[in-house]
Structure 1
Amino acid sequence: MLGFSIYLDTEINSQTESYIRTMSQHGFTGVFTSVHIPEDDASKYVERLKKLGKICMEQHLELTVDIDYQGLKSLGCSVTDVKKLTQCGISALRLDDGFTNSEIAILSHQLAIALNASTISETDVQVLNVQHANFDHMEAWHNYYPRPETGLDTDWFAEKNMWLKQQHFTVMAFVPGDINFRGPLYQGLPTLEAHRHKNSLVAANELKKNFEVEKIFIGDPLISNKLMAQFEAFFTRNEIQLHVQTSHSELMKQIWHNRPEVARDVVRLVESRQQNQKMSVSVQPHQTTLRKLGTITIDNEDYGRYQGEIQICKKELPLDSKVNVIGQVSQSDVVFLPLIGEKTAIKFMPMEEVK
């Protein structure tokens, strides 16, 4: 699951509603919000939560609410009766301080519960079992960390997730956004400190590939249209979008694919040689310069049967008289090259479309 965050310290207005709909259209299926209600402003927060819940129901989005014991009371609910929450579009509760394991067990029979992945212990699991908790309704959600240097350690995170998977929990974690970072620190909202200044899509792929995280949410309150499109392309179509500078316009006219066997140094576009052979075009040596990271090349006639093969360099390579340079991936997009695996689709886009 891919998810995003909407916070209740600002109004849920038409602009917010439009953003939610656009994220839903781009393949995001979950929404996270936090309800720590100030006593002097309770009615405003409750109204905003109800409005957010209504929009989520209309868009078929799962709404998870981070809540403490006092917040539950402020919403007119108790541990034994949370019908009001489900009726207003809330799918799950991410439980903060103040709940005992006995109360968590009771809640787990009424709706989905997200436990604190970082602090849940073996003793907690044992007690929840004794209390007959519904483990089919429970997941393990990590926090995000606004303050630099406080995000989780990568090795510890890996070990914790391994234990959580052994307990059969679905694991969730946050990655930062790319614009409009949340205040007051504006330093991103990642789970891992290593992801604080990393590209959001690259961070999300690492969570999925390296740490067995099954639910990935954007922690910050807004992402760009470009990042939305990149998430949708990668996670729904296994497609990487690369903005490039090139005079080789043929690159933009189709979707290409990496070969099923992944090369160490280059991405090899499987369709390129086949098309060149069909067209019987001779590729003359030209612009055989140094190949930087992200350089797009085509093998010329001096490479024999490899003539016409188009590649993307995943590292700096020396000039080769048999290889023509025909373009360059934008500096902002070279970070996506390690994400290109076997048969990954590649869509080249002109630089002017970067937003």
Structure 2
Amino acid sequence: MGLLGETKPVKKPILGVSLYPEQESMEEIENYLTMASRYGFTKIFTSMFSVPGTKKEVFDYFKNFCDLAHKHGMKVSGDCNTAFFKKMGASESDISIFKEMGIDIIRMDLPYFDQRDVTLINNPYNITIELSSCMIQAVRMALENGANPKNFSTCHNFYPERYTASDLESIRSINKELANLGIPSAVFISSNEDNTHGPWPVHDGLPTVEDHRWIPAELQVRHWIAVGDVDEIIFGNAFASEEEFKAIDQVMNEAYVNIPKLVGQDYLAELLPHGDVERVPFKVILDDGVTDLEKEILFDNVYHQCGETPYYMIRSRWTRMFYGKKSIPERKIDEEYYHRGDVVIVNDNLAHYRGEVQIVLKDMMVDGQRNRIGHIPEADHILLNEVKSGRGICFLK
């Protein structure tokens, strides 16, 4: 996104859920898809090779499954392996049976690591082929050998066993390379509901990143938005709760907004970025005594954009331009320092910067030039290191 004027195109991540048909009734599946689709979820990850039965029984099951998913406007990604291909009479050069079932995406549990990957990806049925994101060598080889990048995506793994999931930096590095190659990537988040399940009888969540295992689902989503280079975010375990869906829906509605171009007003208004905008949403716990004007500046300002590379603070560049002529009297606090995560607004004692919203990153002396509005909860501190120069942020009410 540029510092001024119309923003670059913003790609909103696709949201998805996972289903494990061998453990769920069709009634449970339909109820879940009805709820998930209501909150903007449009993809289903499911394991195909774990469903028992003959070729015809498996075919009939997934034909009904896909029909149900499509009724709710959702695409189906079926996790497969070569043994399942053989069972269904398919091969890398003939996946027509998947088209007949209605499968939209085939996720290969393991790639071939040769020209067969290219043949599979370049299939004539408009079925997207999804490889494991960690198999980056196979991704490179497929592209070098002529795979159509428009029919090709990747998905990271999930990890049912505690302490076995990836670290964030490893995933970030892979996603950055995939973004440079033009190949989409998906990650898994984890519901924290009791008695959720995956493909195995383990109930400790199914995230891609270990540090996400026990934090709220909506915070996992906000973290991935802040990290960037993620095209799809999928619940790895089932069933997530309606409360989790509602919280994620609120995050997405706050993170992705359209700002109209303001014409014929103050020239500063015309400089405000407009168009589709991505904002990293922060929660904030307000202090007592915060004024209505301070709340307006914090919550109702359409766009907080970070200034130069943050060191002591994250600065919202625009609020002082629109509120700099308003009076913001000093409110004293009986503390010597502001601490990491404190949210402050510059007051009348530094009139040139009055109205600027700042999030403290390192201890700063309380000098009377800023009013503390509140603080970012400790759990949200994982977002602070991800907000770089030029990023948009917002605050959840």
**What range is the shorter-chain TM-score in?**
0.7 to 0.9
Q: Higher mean Cα deviation, 94-103 or 313-322?
A: 94-103
Letter in 1 for 2:392: T
Map residues 71-150 of structure 1 onto 2, 5 A cutoff.
Answer: 71-72=84-85, 76-79=88-91, 81-96=94-109, 101=114, 104-108=117-121, 109=123, 110=125, 111-119=127-135, 121=137, 125=141, 129=145, 136-150=150-164
- Does 1:242 find its partner at 2:283? yes
User: Please, which of 29, 32, 36 is the counterpart of residue 20 of structure 1?
Assistant: 36
CA distance in 2, matches of 1:302, 1:124: 57
The Cα RMSD (Å) is 3.9
Per-residue CA distance 1:275-318 (angstroms, 9 max, x = gap)? 44444x25144336342333232333332423343333234433
Cross-structure match for 1:352: none
Letter in 2 for 1:144: F
Q: Which runs of 5+ in 1 are unaligned?
A: 350-355
Per-residue CA distance 1:329-354 (angstroms, 9 max, x = gap)? 344444434444425141340xxxxx
Q: Is the 8 A contact 2:324 2:351 kept in 1?
A: no
- Does 1:11 find its partner at 2:25? yes
CA positional deviation for 1:245:
2.5
Distance 1:306 1:128, change over 3 A: closer
Letter in 2 for 1:219: G
TM-score, normalised by the number of residues in structure 2 = 0.68
Q: Is the 8 A contact 1:64 1:94 kept in 2?
A: yes
Per-residue CA distance 1:91-136 (angstroms, 9 max, x = gap)? 110123596856545433142212233346469937994xx76565
User: Please, which of 266, 283, 305 is the counterpart of residue 352 of structure 2?
Assistant: 305
Cross-structure match for 2:274: none
Distance 1:335 1:178, change over 3 A: farther
Letter in 1 for 2:197: R
Distance 1:150 1:117, change over 3 A: same
CA distance in 2, matches of 1:194, 1:100: 31
How many residues are treated as equivalent by the alignment? 338
Q: Which runs of 5+ in 2 are unaligned?
A: 1-12, 258-276
SS in structure 2 at match of 1:230: helix
Q: Is the 8 A contact 1:101 1:128 kept in 2?
A: no
Distance 1:143 1:259, change over 3 A: closer
Letter in 2 for 1:113: I
CA distance in 2, matches of 1:267, 1:283: 22
CA distance in 2, matches of 1:336, 1:100: 37
Q: Is the 8 A contact 2:189 2:221 kept in 1?
A: no
SS in structure 2 at match of 1:305: helix
Kindly, what percent of the aligned residue pairs are identical? 17
Letter in 2 for 1:182: H
Per-residue CA distance 1:201-247 (angstroms, 9 max, x = gap)? 35524663xxx554443323326121332245335642215243244
CA positional deviation for 1:32:
1.6
CA positional deviation for 1:72:
4.1
CA positional deviation for 1:56:
3.6
CA distance in 2, matches of 1:149, 1:345: 31
Distance 1:92 1:305, change over 3 A: same
Per-residue CA distance 1:164-205 (angstroms, 9 max, x = gap)? 678x46152423224235353333323344554564135524
CA positional deviation for 1:65:
0.8
Q: Is the 8 A contact 1:258 1:345 kept in 2?
A: yes
Letter in 1 for 2:373: I
Distance 1:195 1:103, change over 3 A: same
- Does 1:229 find its partner at 2:246? no
Distance 1:36 1:313, change over 3 A: same
Cross-structure match for 1:353: none
TM-score, normalised by the number of residues in structure 1 = 0.75
Q: Is the 8 A contact 2:347 2:371 kept in 1?
A: yes
User: Please, which of 265, 271, 294 is the counterpart of residue 341 of structure 2?
Assistant: 294
Q: Is the 8 A contact 2:113 2:141 kept in 1?
A: no
CA distance in 1, matches of 2:353, 2:115: 67
Distance 1:323 1:158, change over 3 A: closer
User: Please, which of 211, 224, 229 is the counterpart of residue 204 of structure 1?
Assistant: 224
SS in structure 1 at match of 2:165: coil
Letter in 1 for 2:120: L
Q: Is the 8 A contact 2:339 2:364 kept in 1?
A: yes
CA distance in 1, matches of 2:147, 2:330: 70
